[in-house]
Amino acid sequence: MLRPALLCLLCLALVAPALATAPLWTHSSPGAVRACAVSSEGSLAVTSSDLMRFFDRDGTEIASTWRASDIAVGPKGNLVVAGTAGGVSGYARNGSLLWTVPVDGVTAVGVSGDGKTVASAGSGGRVTVATSTGTQVGSRTTKGGGEVADLAVSQNGSVVVVADRSGVHAFTRKASRRWSVDLPDPNALAVNGSGDLIAVGDIGSVRFYNATGKRVAQVTTTSGVRALAMTPSANLTVAGTQDGTVTALDPAGGLLWTAAAGSWVSQVAVSAGGSAVAVASNDRRLHLLDRDGTALWRADLPGTPRSLALSPDGTRVIVGCDDGTTLLFDTGVRAPAATTPARTMKASTPLPKPSAATSAPKPSAATPAITTGDAVSASPTTVQVVTVERSAGAGGTATLGAVSVLLLLGAWARFRRRG
């Protein structure tokens, strides 16, 4: 009788890493959640649907104001930047208005990683740059003067880059022109911490440009690129495409890994250290991967994702859906110690020549599918707790399972000696 019981307990211990989990909190509002942002450790989260709302780490709404077209949060959550009807506005973490810089038709905003530089894109391709205190330092239109599709700001604030239908345009922190490159319909941008490497996603490739606007690499993708994210060190660039492929690249355009999301990838985000990669796909799913492309968990969403943000430390991810639901998750990834050096990822493919295009292979049977593991399900009114399969790197659950195994093996040995 005892032997089968011990065997059952041993089996349970081996699957102990798969523990129940759910969003830390959810919120329901009228209208699609088209913008969201979160600070490190989730101490502040901001969303925009019918209104712009401010939440503390427990999901308690602490303030609300007029809705925003786009949102960015400073690294410590002390400054919230939003595109509003009046222009670009800065808010304190309690929702109080600090300043507004007049800009017509703001479509995109960004704040540098050091929190000192604020950039926005408005009507007619106008790019406006201001300080964190709301002092405008420069404003200029893009070469084409069209509506800006995406905007990115380097961590040190030295480079502001935008994409419109005419191409990609880089500016200084005072909005002076750096360079422009003519490209047909670029869709997504990402920039490294120093601003000397810029990734551009278009209908069928990811292109890398240096500080002078010279193309240094080009990677052909399996379909159109809809989202891009890059770590400040540029050791990891993640691209999401229309066919559901997630591709990770090194600074030279070398392929690191690919994974299959299963549906159109609308948003991607990567933590500052690259320890966490978040992927939102149009089949109503949120995926979390580690730096090597290993799936940590997957969450089923109540609506199609419309916005996504990952905290700089990688510990929190927030997603907004078209049904008005916002969900905030603990990723299970722990923030690295301040003294831990950033990991440099080695290229898995030969270094491409600057003018030659390389191709990211299509997902095959060997391509790891993100959709492995059980799902977390949530609705606007209830949170259903189900299991999520986590890897050993996702937290302490693997350690718990290992300890359980050792204790049960000891009990088994004592049982055998008595027998």
Provide the pLDDT for residue 139: 96
- Work out the average pLDDT over 232-260: 97
d(C-alpha 330, C-alpha 296), whole Å: 12
Q: What global pTM score does this model have?
A: 0.79
Percent of the chain at pLDDT > 90 equals 69
Kindly state the percentage of the chain with pLDDT values over 70. Answer: 75
- Residue 21 has a pLDDT of 60
| Long-range contacts of 400-405, Cβ-Cβ distance < 8 Å, separation of 24 or more | 400/16, 400/17, 401/13, 401/14, 401/15, 401/16, 401/17, 404/12, 404/13, 404/16, 405/10, 405/13, 405/14
Can you list the domains of the chain with their CATH numbers? 2-335+343-418 (2.130.10.10)
pLDDT bin (cut points 50, 70, 90) of residue 152 is: very high
Which band of pLDDT confidence, cut at 50, 70 and 90, is reported for residue 337? low
> Higher confidence at residue 64 or residue 143?
64
